[in-house]
Amino acid sequence: MLSFFRVNAVYQNISLVLFFLLLRLPFLWSDVPLLVPELNWMLVGEQMNRGFMLYRDIWDNVSPFSGLVYWTIDTLVGRSQLAFQAIAAVLSIFQIIYFNYVIHSRELFSERSYVPGAIYALLLNISFDLATLSPMLMATTFLLLAFGTMVKLITRRQVTNEVFELGMYIGIATLFYLPASVFVVWASVSLLFYTGATFRHYLLGFFGSAFPLLMVVLYFYLNDGIYSLNRNLLTSVFQVKQYNLNDFSSLLVSLLIPLVVGVLGFMRLFTAARFVNYQSRVQQIMAIWFFTAILTIPLMQYLAPMQFVIFIPAATFFSTYYFQSFKKQWAAEFIFLFVMGGILLIQYQGVLDLLPQLSAGRLENLRAKSALLPSEIEGKHILVLGEDEGEYINNFSATPYLNWDLASYDLENLDNFDSVIHVYDNFRQDPPEYIIDKQNIMPKLFVRVPALKSRYRPSKWKGIYEKIG
């Protein structure tokens, strides 16, 4: 397998695409499980398509450019998991080819080959959840473009105005996935230690990263949404997270193989022959990339392999050196096939459930499961007071209260007059047909807002309220 991708020929770009698509073959004959975050992104796109504004009218913490993409998808094809997977595959293929292009064209390894692209394609299949169009995947696309720009600056041994482009890519990545903002640290440290950047260049880079952010802030300011932007996006990132240990164990299984191979490759650099100066610098900035990516972990809203896609460029870089460092080609081939087999086993287990008694790779706690709702409540606009447990799979969301962690700011604070006013206005603007009350909030809400009591009544199903008329 490796010997094939060692052949240095232009047609290998097609081979990388085919190799990646072959790794995704299980998705063709099996339904990929719908994930809770994935359903949430679809609901955001639906609400935006109905004319509601993100953060102000839709209380969710998805980043603005990601929300824009989900709105575009819903406008074109509606709620479609297939569209998410198709666009994610296109982005993944771009990342594979671009990453290999940077490595190949800048001669970052002594051997020019397409092995980096093959390893990148393999690592994009460590878990089935990497097949969806996540904010992390979209952000990583622009971080890779920033990496390509950084490599150009280092190989030329001089800093040019391209540092503005570098900052711009990081700023755009931040607007797709807010924790990506920590890569400003990666860019700053890399420019400081490995280039001759002056204060002017740092200012250019800062303005490059700040410009797209300021444009978004200005947009929300002009649309009376700056307070909502701060509360629903910026503040929510720094909230204390409560992670599920079952998710953590499944995550470790998915990340173990690429982590081990990447670390082994990094360790072998210390015993390797001397590299050209710029090659050593790129190795060091990739190490800084890895440690910078670690800073995003406390900012993650939940644990899942797709959240760690930002680590894949660094893991691929060091894994490539690991496989190229073997003097005996058969040993490298054997280990690569073993690694590929382990990764595909985890992915296939998650999609096809090869071993029902084994939970590894299945991400049970992130799967969206249809709630046991009456048949009458299907295709309706509903509001769930509490954590969504699949009620929205066959229904549409109503009111801004999509994310319960954010919605509780109003709905569990009904002794506050401002919260009561907000709730009433939100119900009036987008009234739900049914309310599934898991927190027993409606009785108190009826007391605080008598006007709602005349519009909703308890249904024949416990904990569910229906609109009158």
At 4 the pLDDT is: 83
pLDDT, the chain, mean? 88
* Calpha distance 237→241 (Å, rounded): 9
The CB-based long-range contact list for 183-188 (8 Å cut-off, 24+ gap) reads 183/143, 183/146, 183/289, 183/292, 184/209, 185/292, 185/295, 186/285, 186/288, 186/289, 186/292, 187/146, 187/150
Selection from 185, 179, 213, 208 nearest residue 309 by Cα: 179
| Mean pLDDT, residues 407-432 taken together | 89
Q: Are 303 and 248 in contact (CB under 8 A)?
A: yes
Cα 73 to the chain's mean position, in Å?
Answer: 16
Length of the chain: 469
Beta bridge partners of 381: 396
Residue spans of alpha helices (H) in 240-299: 245-268, 277-294
d(CA 209, CA 230): 19
pTM as predicted: 0.92
Q: What is the mean pLDDT of residues 269-275?
A: 71
Q: Is 60 exceeded by the pLDDT of residue 243? A: no
Task: Identify which of 144, 148, 111 has the alpha carbon closest to the alpha carbon of residue 322.
Answer: 111
pLDDT band at residue 46 under the 50/70/90 scheme: very high
Question: What is the structure's pLDDT at 47?
Answer: 94
Percentage of the chain beyond pLDDT 70 is 96
What is the spatial distance between Cα 210 and Cα 164, in angstroms, rounded to a whole number? 10
Question: Which residues, 6+ apart, have CB-to-CB distance to 446 below 8 Å?
Answer: 452, 453, 456
Spatial neighbors of 12 by CB under 8 A, at least 6 apart, are: 5, 114, 117
Structural domain boundaries in the chain: 2-352, 381-467
pLDDT tens track for 48-69: 999 999 999 999 999 999 999 9
